[in-house]
Structure 1
Amino acid sequence: MAYTRGNLAVKEKAQERVTQQRYKETTKVVTRRTGLPAREKFLYLITLLAVIIVGGALMSRYAHIYELNKQAQSTIVKIKEAEKTIADLRVERETLNNQVVENAKRLGYVEASDKDVIFVPRSTTNTSTGTESSSKATSSK
């Protein structure tokens, strides 16, 4: 028996009596899946397209950055090769400068002293004839 508000003299409820039922009531919950409304489908489609466009833009930017980095690397390699070539050519220039005096002495040229004056005539002709006339003038001496 149940204790209700301090009174023990409570009549039993009819539901609590044990009675046999002839059938058992059961309830079955049926859920139907309804399709999405057209507006919601359109919203999902627009959202999906926006995500794809933003992702494509990001990927193209990263591809462009990658291409720029690749070009920078190849330019750095070309610069290093050019610097090596310049260094080699400077060394070759120095060796050729050192050989000029030796080759001139071997060919019979004499070094000019400070007292000797070399006169080079000034010409008013163009550079191609000026070089020819200056070479003729030098060879005649």
Structure 2
Amino acid sequence: MAYTRGNLAVKEKASQERVTQQRYKETTKVVTRRTGLPAREKFLYLITLVAVIVVGGVMMSRYAHIYDLNKQAQTTLSDVREAEKTIADLQVEKERLNNLVIENARKLGYVEASGKDVIFVPRSTSTTNSTGTESSSDTANK
């Protein structure tokens, strides 16, 4: 027996209570059951999911349309740049050909008209007929 606060006559009841408690240990187990969602709540979740998917699809289609417009703008700008380069090359070619016309005319013996020379060009489209004689409108103007 243990010495308890200076009194040896005290009987230990606490140790006996511990022994009885250890023999029979009562345990309780909490069981939680998950109940299914009500039909209305399931329907609400389904409608929300469908709405989110539709909004996402609309946004993706709009972004795809914007991407397509940007792509078309870029190709149009590159086509315009190529056309401007072609125009510049053709203008240079035109100037070169104009200079060649003058040189070829001089080689063939043509002379540039001076300010005193008057050149008359009739308005009619036919200046000679098939036999090589002048038409009546040309002789009337002379």
TM-score (norm 1): 0.74
Match of 1:60 in 2: 61
Counterpart residue number, 1:46: 47
Correspondence for 2:31: 30
Q: State the Cα distance separating 1:96 from its structure 2 match.
A: 1.0
- 1:13 maps to which residue? none
Counterpart code for 1:39: R
**What SS is found at the alignment partner of 1:86?**
helix
How many pairs are equivalent?
Answer: 113
Structure 1 residue 122: deviation in Å?
Answer: 2.3
Counterparts of 1:121 and 1:87, CA distance in 2: 36
Provide the rounded CA distance (Å) in 1 between the counterparts of 2:100 and 2:67: 50
- Larger-gyration structure (1/2): 2
State the identity %. Answer: 75
In 1, Cα distance between equivalents of 2:66 and 2:102: 55
Equivalent residue letter for 2:92? V
Shift of 1:74: 1.0
For 2:25 and 2:106, how far apart are their aligned partners in 1? 131
Aligned AA (2:83): A
Matches of 1:66 and 1:51 in 2, distance apart? 22
Q: Which amino acid aligns with 2:62?
A: R
Q: Per-residue CA shift, 1:17-67, capped at 9, x if unaligned?
A: 632235222111001110000010001000000000010001101111111
Aligned to 1:89: 90
Aligned position for 2:73: 72
- The C-alpha deviation readout for 1:91-118, integer Å capped at 9, x for no partner, is 0011111112111111121111111111
Structure 2: gaps (5+ residues): 1-12, 135-142
Q: Which residue of 2 aligns with 1:10?
A: none
2: CA distance, partners of 1:122 / 1:86 = 34
CA RMSD of aligned residues (A): 1.7
